[in-house]
């Protein structure tokens, strides 16, 4: 018996010398396959879905290209498709092929309360994950990385944040962009007059009609506004990103089981190349908005890193 043990140890040692890393790989226990949700006692959102036979998703009307109504009045978008993948996974794991999907339109002001009070089961749009919001809701793995910048007319003379001194700027109320510009304005004494818009459409309309000299929003949203403008070449995105931010799906707080499902869906989409496909579909191809527009935003480097290493970390 002892000699057999010695022979096994000697074999393992020789293998380690001949094949780098073989000893550490051999020493690791085999990973247990993840159990589908249906194989575990259901809790939280999944228990609610099982009981009611429904899942309620948040929608937006103008969060192009993440979650919006297209020219045919159909819900579409990069984040909306992620939500559909989550629905498909819930159907499979809970064996609910006839799962009913309900939708509810939200705004930047209503989306967090509606998730926090469990009216919504899942909200995937252009919602920033930050540590402050974690006190009210939970967030999935990040599916997009953005930075808050400025949309201005090319002939405005505005290129940097300091060029806004004494001018009007519009920002969507209830967003992290609003908090950032208020903090920067107070800290630097810029004397900017901050105007609030109710949504992304009004945000652009106010700068388009001259009520504001610049619109502040996450850069990808601004590119979407330019793509939908009557004269796209009149506009540009300027300013160093004020802060890098992570977009993620929102779900009820402390719901580990549902979060694990949503996280796994997003990670698999990234690892399989599916996320890159829908990025191409919504950012680099023509989408059915205003007769057909192209956002035209190449995949930024932080997104490639995210595809390689999915995670649920907030930047702030």
pLDDT digits (tens, 9 = 90+) for 52-82: 999 999 999 989 999 999 999 999 999 999 9
Q: Read out DSSP for 276-309?
A: HHHHIIIIIS-BSSTT-B----PPPHHHHHHHHS
Q: What is the pLDDT of residue 251?
A: 98
Question: Is the fold of 37-145+245-308 the same as that of 147-244?
Answer: yes
CA distances 146 to 30, 211, 218, Å, are: 38, 26, 6
What is the spatial order of strands in the sheet that 67-69 belongs to? 62-63, 67-69, 75-76
CATH code 3.30.70.270 for 37-145+245-308: no
pLDDT beneath 50: ranges in the chain: 1-33
Q: In this predicted model, what pLDDT tens digit does every residue of 148-176 receive, in sequence order?
A: 999 999 999 999 999 999 999 999 998 88
Q: Provide the 8-state DSSP code for 1.
A: -
pLDDT at 15: 35
- To the question of pTM greater than 0.85 for the whole model, the response is no
Cα–Cα distance for residue pair 117/114, rounded to 1 Å:
5
- Pairing mode of beta strands 75-76, 168-172: unpaired
Structure tokens at 263: 């996280």
Q: Where are the domains of the chain?
A: 37-145+245-308, 147-244
Dist CA 27 CA 22 (whole Å): 9
Q: List 67's β-bridge partners, or say none.
A: 63
pLDDT at residue 38, as a whole number? 55
Strands 138-153 and 128-129: unpaired
Looking only at the bridges linking them, the beta strands covering 138-153 and 244-251 are: antiparallel
Looking at the domain 147-244, which fold is it?
D-Maltodextrin-Binding Protein; domain 2 (3.40.190)
Query: What token pair was written down for 162?
Result: 């300091």
Q: What is the pLDDT of residue 116?
A: 97
């Amino acid at each position: 018996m002892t000699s057999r043990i010695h022979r096994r140890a000697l074999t393992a040692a020789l293998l380690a010398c001949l094949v780098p890393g073989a000893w550490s790989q051999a020493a690791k226990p085999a990973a247990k396959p993840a159990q589908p949700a249906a194989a575990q006692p259901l809790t939280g959102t999944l228990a609610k879905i099982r009981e009611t036979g429904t899942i309620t998703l948040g929608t937006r009307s103008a969060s192009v290209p993440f979650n919006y109504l297209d020219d045919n009045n159909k819900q579409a978008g990069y984040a909306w498709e992620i939500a559909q993948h989550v629905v498909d996974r819930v159907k499979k794991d809970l064996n609910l092929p006839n799962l009913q999907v309900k939708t509810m339109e939200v705004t930047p002001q209503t989306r967090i309360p509606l998730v926090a009070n469990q009216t919504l089961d899942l909200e995937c749009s252009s919602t920033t994950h930050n540590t402050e919001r974690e006190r009210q809701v939970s967030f999935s793995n990040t599916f997009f990385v953005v930075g808050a910048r400025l949309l201005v007319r090319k002939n405005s003379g505005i290129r940097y944040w300091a060029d806004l001194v004494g001018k009007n700027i519009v920002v969507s109320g209830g967003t992290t962009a609003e908090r950032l510009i208020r903090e920067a304005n107070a800290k630097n004494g810029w004397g900017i007059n901050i105007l609030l818009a109710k949504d992304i459409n009004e945000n652009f309309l106010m700068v388009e009609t001259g009520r504001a000299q610049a619109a502040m929003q996450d850069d990808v949203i601004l590119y979407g506004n330019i793509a939908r403008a009557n004269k796209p070449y009149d506009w540009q995105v300027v300013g160093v990103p004020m802060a890098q931010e992570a977009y993620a799906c929102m779900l009820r707080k402390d719901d580990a089981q549902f979060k694990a499902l949503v996280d796994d869906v997003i990670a698999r989409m990234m690892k399989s190349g599916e996320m890159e496909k829908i990025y191409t579909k919504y950012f680099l191809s023509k989408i059915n908005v205003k007769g057909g527009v192209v956002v035209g935003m190449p995949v930024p480097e932080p997104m490639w890193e995210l595809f390689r290493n999915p995670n649920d970390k907030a930047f702030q």
